[in-house]
Structure 1
């Protein structure tokens, strides 16, 4: 009687791990983040010291909002910092 051929499966070899190493930020990221935070702080300080007349004359208390937008943008960038 003829002998049937054996059914040997090839051993499973997992695909190579995709190791691209730790991700890093571009070199401009940290200076822009700190710049936005400091610009927002300076904007608010100038607004308070000049009684809302500057940095942009005529918009009064909206200068505070502009300063806070700069600070929020800086804090938003801190969440992406690696």
Structure 2
């Protein structure tokens, strides 16, 4: 029995008006301060919480009470926001 012909499909190339450009996809790199600030906020938040728990809620600010947790977690959430700007 003869072998059937194999049909080759044409490779699709999008029209030039909808093709993404190389410069639009990469963008400019972020400044040096962005990752430094993000890592600093993570370290500050974790450090704040560790000091709060190890000092039996006496430090960093005893009068704030449980708001110290909000400060520590707020710093870590702020670092996540800064990390989204990092390219």
TM-score where L is the length of structure 1: 0.71
| Higher Cα Rg, which structure | 1
Query: Is contact 2:34-2:85 (8 Å) kept?
Result: no
In the TM superposition, structure 1's runs of 4+ consecutive aligned residues that sit over 4 Å from their partners are: none
Q: Which has the higher helix share?
A: 2
Aligned residue number for residue 46 of structure 2: 41
Does 1:79 pair with 2:84?
Answer: yes
- Residue 70 of structure 2 is matched in structure 1 by 65
**Is the contact between residue 42 and residue 79 of structure 2 (CA under 8 Å) also seen in structure 1?**
yes
Residue 28 (structure 2) pairs with residue 23 (structure 1): yes
Pairwise CA distance, 1:22: 3.1
**Superposition RMSD in Å:** 1.9
Aligned length: 67
In 1, are the aligned partners of 2:34 and 2:83 still within 8 Å (CA)?
A: no
RCO higher in structure (CA 8 A, sep ≥6): 2
> How does the TM-score come out when normalised to structure 2?
0.67
